């Protein structure tokens, strides 16, 4: 089979890497891919913000399956267009993908179907923001309504800060069209968990859970990013909690979308806060997370291609996945200055030495390859991922690999998986 993966980040590198392991996959393309992905797939240029460009690539390559990595093509309706042409494609339709492309849609949907989430107000003017803030206590979460590449969420420590951030979003100066509406949301306290399920429009099958590290700084400080690292262990949530999340979050989403005539197929990412009152949904993503995909897929022992086919063909079942009991950890190495301004084009050394370590894989997120050398080409550059018998071993292996790699002004958090490594209370 020929498989086409759309996207260019660490998530797509992990998808390519895992799909290549299927005995039925003979060729993997990635559009547009990156320098590192080019080692594992044939990369082809494409404009992922242009539906015609994506269709042109698929017309030329004639893949037996297309896997959509990032959110933008979903919002453009790539799944709808491919289905119209009779092309097998993994992912939700444009209507179903509103769960991610519109925060206001997702919040209203959760209210309609009684899915636990934080209280909120949708605002379109500064005056509405001012009125709404009277009903909130700091800290206050300010979210851009549209897609903002993981950077559309600000936790404001005062009402004044919330008003300022909301005004910047509404003006279009901060995030363009993504911020033309803002959601003010109550701040939830607890641990964040990423819980993903595979759906065929009716049924769901859970993947193993992971925990992401959104903030740029150690100790979860500083501004939000697209994710600075993640880890996954067999005990991050227990079987009872997994069942609860399926019955009270994931399955109600799938049932609700079908009821509203927008059946949901593909991966549903549920970003959760495990509060004292129980799990609450922070956000939905309509695709694999990045960097959670890297440690999750490193634990997958079954055939990813078969799972994707089951989603497309309407036959998802509980036994679709088999998982290792190992722990995995991913450390993101970024360009200095990210998530603000940063320079690109820095030469990267030590990649072969890092990849040669046991149970370790360096996934490329923002790299280019020129004359046999790798250079930085984005904010998040690499996702150094490792597996171990327990979390301590996985983390130590990941950081041992990080120590082999160098590029000017590189930055990474030094405390990935710190919550998972804390001694458990009796």
CATH code: domain of residue 278: 3.30.470.20
Quote the DSSP letter at residue 379. Answer: S
Mean pLDDT of 180-190: 90
User: Does the structure show a pLDDT above 80 at 179?
Assistant: no
Mean pLDDT of 185-206: 96
Parallel/antiparallel/unpaired status of strands 327-335 and 215-217: unpaired
If asked whether residues 13 and 71 sit together in one domain, one would say yes
Number of compact structural domains in the chain: 4
If asked whether residues 305 and 334 sit together in one domain, one would say no
Measure the CA dihedral 279/298/14/288, to 10°: -20
170: CATH: 3.30.1490.20
If asked whether residues 200 and 304 sit together in one domain, one would say yes
Please check whether residue 226 lies inside any domain of the structure: yes
Please check whether residue 386 lies inside any domain of the structure: yes
CA atoms within 13 A on the CB side of 40: 25
Please check whether residue 8 lies inside any domain of the structure: yes
Q: Which domain holds residue 39?
A: 2-91
User: Does the structure show a pLDDT above 70 at 418?
Assistant: yes
- 138-155 per-position pLDDT tens digit: 999 998 887 766 567 888
Give, rounded to a whole angstrom, the gap between the first and last alpha carbons of the chain: 51
- Please list the alpha-helical segments (H only) found in 192-350: 239-245, 251-259, 293-298, 304-313
Parallel/antiparallel/unpaired status of strands 360-364 and 380-388: antiparallel
Q: Nearest to residue 334, comparing CAs of 319, 323, 344, 321?
A: 344
If asked whether residues 281 and 195 sit together in one domain, one would say yes
Please check whether residue 405 lies inside any domain of the structure: yes
User: Does the structure show a pLDDT above 50 at 388?
Assistant: yes
Please check whether residue 118 lies inside any domain of the structure: no
pLDDT at 175: 63
Which range is least confidently modeled, 150-159, 191-200, 237-246?
150-159
pLDDT band at 426 (very low <50, low <70, confident <90, very high): very low
Q: Summarize the chain as % helix, strand, coil (round to 5).
A: 30, 30, 40
Alpha-carbon 276 to chain mean position: 25
If asked whether residues 199 and 314 sit together in one domain, one would say yes
Domain final residue, candidates 286, 320, 354: 320
Domain final residue, candidates 320, 346, 368: 320
Domain final residue, candidates 257, 286, 320: 320
Q: How long a stretch of residues is the chain?
A: 426
- 338-352 per-position pLDDT tens digit: 999 999 999 999 999
The phi, psi pair for 243, rounded to 5°, reads: -65, -40
Q: How far apart are CA 92 and CA 279, in angstroms?
A: 24
User: Does the structure show a pLDDT above 80 at 174?
Assistant: no
**Which residues lie closer than 8 Å to 1 by C-beta, 6 or more apart?**
22, 24, 25, 26, 27, 64, 65, 305
The phi, psi pair for 191, rounded to 5°, reads: -100, 140
Please check whether residue 110 lies inside any domain of the structure: no
User: Of residues 168 and 255, which shows the higher confidence score?
Assistant: 255
User: Does the structure show a pLDDT above 70 at 310?
Assistant: yes
User: Does the structure show a pLDDT above 90 at 353?
Assistant: yes
pLDDT band at 224 (very low <50, low <70, confident <90, very high): confident
User: Does the structure show a pLDDT above 90 at 423?
Assistant: no
User: Does the structure show a pLDDT above 60 at 399?
Assistant: yes
Q: What angle do CA 219, 410, 213 make, to 5 degrees?
A: 30
H or E stretch at 98: helix 98-101
Q: Nearest to residue 78, comparing CAs of 46, 54, 43?
A: 54
If asked whether residues 210 and 284 sit together in one domain, one would say yes
H or E stretch at 334: strand 327-335
Q: Nearest to residue 206, comparing CAs of 312, 323, 92?
A: 323
If asked whether residues 258 and 220 sit together in one domain, one would say yes
Parallel/antiparallel/unpaired status of strands 27-32 and 2-7: parallel
For residue 331, give both structure tokens: 């450390």
CA atoms within 13 A on the CB side of 307: 27
User: Of residues 323 and 173, which shows the higher confidence score?
Assistant: 323
For residue 426, give both structure tokens: 């009796």
Please check whether residue 104 lies inside any domain of the structure: no
User: Does the structure show a pLDDT above 80 at 25?
Assistant: yes
User: Does the structure show a pLDDT above 50 at 409?
Assistant: yes
User: Does the structure show a pLDDT above 50 at 41?
Assistant: yes
Please check whether residue 105 lies inside any domain of the structure: no
If asked whether residues 304 and 245 sit together in one domain, one would say yes
If asked whether residues 168 and 280 sit together in one domain, one would say no
Mean pLDDT of 237-251: 96
CB distance 91 to 286 below 8 Å: yes
H or E stretch at 265: strand 265-275
If asked whether residues 335 and 283 sit together in one domain, one would say no
User: Does the structure show a pLDDT above 60 at 425?
Assistant: no
Quote the DSSP letter at residue 131. Answer: H
If asked whether residues 295 and 197 sit together in one domain, one would say yes
Burial class (CB in 10 A: 0-12, 13-18, 19+), 425: exposed
Mean pLDDT of 271-284: 95
pLDDT band at 234 (very low <50, low <70, confident <90, very high): very high
If asked whether residues 18 and 58 sit together in one domain, one would say yes
The phi, psi pair for 305, rounded to 5°, reads: -60, -45
Which range is least confidently modeled, 5-19, 115-129, 375-389?
115-129
pLDDT at 148: 63
């Amino acid at each position: 089979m020929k498989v086409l993966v759309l996207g260019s980040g660490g998530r797509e590198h992990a998808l390519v890497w895992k799909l290549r392991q299927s005995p039925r996959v003979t060729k993997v393309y990635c559009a547009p891919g990156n320098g590192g992905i080019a080692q594992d797939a044939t990369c082809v240029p494409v404009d992922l913000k242009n539906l015609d460009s994506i269709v042109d690539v698929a017309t030329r390559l004639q893949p037996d399956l297309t896997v959509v990595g990032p959110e933008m093509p979903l919002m453009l309706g790539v799944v709808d267009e491919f289905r119209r042409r009779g092309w097998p494609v993994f992912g939700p339709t444009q209507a179903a993908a509103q769960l991610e492309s519109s925060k206001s849609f997702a919040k209203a949907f959760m209210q309609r179907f009684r899915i636990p989430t934080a209280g909120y107000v949708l605002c379109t003017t500064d005056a509405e923001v001012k009125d709404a803030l009277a009903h909130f206590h700091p800290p206050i979460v300010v979210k851009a309504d549209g897609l903002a590449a993981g950077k559309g969420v600000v936790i404001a420590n005062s009402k004044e800060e919330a008003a300022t951030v909301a005004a910047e979003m509404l003006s279009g100066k901060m995030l363009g069209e993504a911020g033309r509406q803002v959601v003010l949301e109550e701040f939830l306290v607890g641990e964040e968990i990423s819980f993903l399920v595979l759906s065929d429009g009716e049924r769901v099958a859970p993947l193993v859970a992971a925990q992401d590290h959104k903030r740029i700084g150690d100790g979860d400080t500083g501004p939000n990013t697209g994710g600075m690292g993640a880890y996954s262990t067999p005990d991050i949530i227990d079987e009872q909690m997994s069942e609860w999340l399926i019955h009270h979050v994931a399955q109600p989403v799938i049932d609700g979308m079908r009821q509203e005539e927008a059946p949901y197929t593909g991966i549903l990412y549920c970003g959760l806060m495990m509060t004292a009152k129980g799990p609450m949904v922070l956000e939905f993503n309509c695709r694999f997370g990045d960097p959670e995909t890297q440690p999750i897929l490193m634990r997958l022992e079954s055939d990813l291609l078969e799972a994707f086919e089951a989603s497309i063909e309407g036959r998802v079942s509980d036994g679709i996945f088999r998982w290792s009991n190992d722990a995995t950890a991913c450390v993101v190495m970024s360009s200095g200055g990210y998530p603000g301004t940063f320079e690109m084009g820095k030469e990267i050394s030590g990649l072969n030495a890092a990849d040669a370590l046991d149970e370790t894989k360096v996934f490329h997120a923002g790299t280019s390859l020129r004359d046999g050398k790798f250079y930085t080409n984005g904010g998040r550059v690499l996702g150094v991922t490792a597996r171990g018998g327990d979390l301590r071993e996985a983390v130590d292996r990941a950081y041992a690999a990080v120590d082999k790699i160098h590029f000017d002004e590189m930055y990474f958090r030094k405390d990935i998986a710190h919550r998972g490594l804390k001694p458990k209370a009796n």
